[in-house]
Amino acid sequence: MSSATPRSRGGARRRREQVRRRRRRRTLAAVLGFVLVVGVGATATAFMLSRADVEPPAGASPGASQSADPGDGATGEPTAEQIDFQDDEPAAAPGAEPCTTVSVLSSFENAEMVGNLAAAYNAQPRDVAGRCVTVVAGKDKSGIAAEEAAAGFPDLGADERPSVWIPDASTWLSIAHAGGGVAVVPEDGVSVGSSNIVLAMPQPLADAVGWADSPPSWGEVFEAADDGQLWADLGHPEWGDFKLGKTSPLIASSGQAAMLSSYATSSGSANLSVADIITPAVAAEVAAHELSVSHYMATPEHFLWHARESEVQGSSADFLSAVIVDETSVWSYNRGITSRDGVTRVAGDPPVDPLVPIYPTDGFYVADNPAVVLNGSWVDDVERAAAEDFLRFSTTAQGQQVVRESGYRDLNGSLDDAVAELTSAESAPSGALAFPDRNVVAAVAEAFPEVRKDAQVLFLVDLSASMGYDNTAGQTRLEGAQHAITAALDHFTAGDRVGLAGFTTTDGTITPGLVAPVADIADNRGALVEGVNSLEPVAHTPLYQAVADFAQQQAAMWDPDRINAIVLLSDGVNATGDIETIGQDDMIHVLHGLHAETPVLVFTLGYSPDADVETLQAISSATGAHYYDATDPTEVEAVLGDLVTSF
């Protein structure tokens, strides 16, 4: 979703349906063990390019076959382009205390690498301007960090604001600039390492379609994702539809790469311009591509956590067929590292079906991890010098070893041997693409609300008596929820269908039920706001019955060309008073049954320390959706805003 001004998408939707009808007439045939997509035509071939056509990100050569030292854990053969990494030169003794603190902000995707660099830097004595130095690493979602950086981090005190920003791709520097952050964010950064953004598939699926050995073009990927019979025709009806996972381009670099690849395929040009983005025929083709998306999520880790949960319950293919992520995420997944919330990482056994990275023949974008020292007034001369020393360390032989061991390609494009083996990553894949200039990136972000898959969403609100309790923000829990839902409506655009319901008990029945029917938000926004404001806390929390009833109602309206979802907000546990309702197992059984034919994603949001987090997680997991934590009620608006960008 986006906060962009709602605009009519009727014409785009008609063009989208025309494209869908054309695509349904095409077939996929298995030839020589791999899938050759028929009918892609010029749009699938005009975008193809060779390694010589690629201009890699500044400071990196992502596709190069290079190695600093064959015995240093790198892959490939040395070439004339090789960077000779210099040794780190720590101080003989640490400078005087108190130490200068360098706060480094990273993206969720590269947080492990940045944290490892900080730890390695801190492990040696440092003396900058006579002071010791301590680097502290923090992280945030890329899109949110860019927005905050553009505004100068207004919600943080001067001593809490970062002095260094290392997003996982240069596009976020562009977004910050486009958002007015010129005074704070330098125009260019220095890459500390790179990770190719690839199509990742569970091994059995990649083998079945033949892409592990014969990579497709992006046009073939989008064509396959639009073919509901692909897996059945290849002898695997149990895998269902081709489920393509993408992150939101407003939040994550992999989402940006996915959209750019779609625009490049649709326009027939790898060198995208703003004119390409706004061309109606191109936009219609991109909108058709988006119809294959199961739903958008905020970070790659959200998708991969669900894939792993799905494998535990049966098969990862039940949740996804392919997902667009960076190589490093593939490495983390294959070694058993997952994260439900993107913050806490959990180590487990490796998956039964590892992911295979696939490098489309017409190019793939590169997350170049640019580091910048911010120009904010809160960064004094000593802190700036210390920050620059940390960035110097990141490009030394020792720093680049940390980069490789963290799953990234170093500045020579080389991977650690163990990382390359576990991910099945190519040592020197051809077709690496630098992200386009900021005007194109900004145009894609602006166009996303017009081309993304439409949503059909019901907000379902717990109206138990506890929603009348005060939260820590000087309002009741319900007042906080009402404000958050009203703000979240701004993320929807004309064409999205949105409704509102509440649940509690009165006189032995579940009330108030449906408050505002699901309808085009262009027509019913006023009714939604009025309905939100009319909600009142009453009595009990018939959670299980309400979820089952409304999931069935939404399933009856299921539309394959929409993301069908419920956003459930609850502050408590199932409590029904004197009325008799179904149990938790019955509710989960209903959700599983619906998911097989008319899947309705039930995103859950725990809205107080008393919320039944375990049950809410079980509800979301049963539907392939995600649980969001707002157990600190003051965070509900930010969390709900994050949630609705993930449809």
**150 — phi, psi (to 5°)?**
-60, -35
C-alpha closest to that of 340 among 4, 628, 631, 643:
628
**Tens-place pLDDT, residues 237-290:** 999 889 898 988 988 999 999 999 999 999 998 899 999 999 999 999 999 999
Mean pLDDT over all residues of the chain? 85
Q: Which two tokens stand for residue 338?
A: 């997952």
| DSSP assignment of 463-501 | --GGGGSB-TTSSBHHHHHHHHHHHHGGG--TT-EEEEE
Quickly state the pLDDT bin for 58 (edges 50, 70, 90): very low
Percent of the residues in the chain that have a pLDDT greater than 70, as a whole number: 87
What is the pLDDT at residue 300?
Answer: 86
Compute the distance between CA of residue 28 and CA of residue 526 in angstroms, rounded to an integer: 46
Q: Residue count of the chain, please give it.
A: 647
Higher pLDDT, 83 or 309: 83
Domain 70-194+368-414, CATH 3.40.190.10 — does that match? yes
Quickly state the pLDDT bin for 340 (edges 50, 70, 90): confident
What is the pLDDT at residue 19?
Answer: 35
For 192, residues 6+ apart whose C-beta sits below 8 A from its C-beta are 113, 117, 166, 369, 370, 371, 391, 394, 395, 399, 403, 411
Quickly state the pLDDT bin for 6 (edges 50, 70, 90): very low
Residue type, 65: S
**Tens-place pLDDT, residues 507-528:** 778 899 999 999 999 999 999 9
Is residue 38 over pLDDT 90? no
Segments in 322-437 forming alpha helices (H): 327-334, 381-394, 397-405, 417-423
Is residue 495 over pLDDT 90? yes
What is the pLDDT at residue 597?
Answer: 86
Bridge partners, residue 198, by sequence: 325
What is the pLDDT at residue 636?
Answer: 85
**Domain residue ranges in the chain:** 10-52+202-362+436-447, 70-194+368-414, 453-644
Across 226-233, average pLDDT = 92
CB 211 within 8 A of CB 358: yes
The top-scoring range by mean pLDDT among 15-29, 305-319, 351-365, 596-610 is 351-365
Q: Which two tokens stand for residue 219?
A: 């046009």
Is residue 632 over pLDDT 60? yes
Instruction: Indicate the SS3 state at residue 303.
Output: helix
Quickly state the pLDDT bin for 27 (edges 50, 70, 90): very low
Compute the distance between CA of residue 636 and CA of residue 647 in angstroms, rounded to an integer: 17
Is residue 169 over pLDDT 60? yes
Domain spanning 453-644: which superfamily? von Willebrand factor, type A domain (3.40.50.410)
- Determine how β-strand 244-247 pairs with β-strand 96-107: unpaired
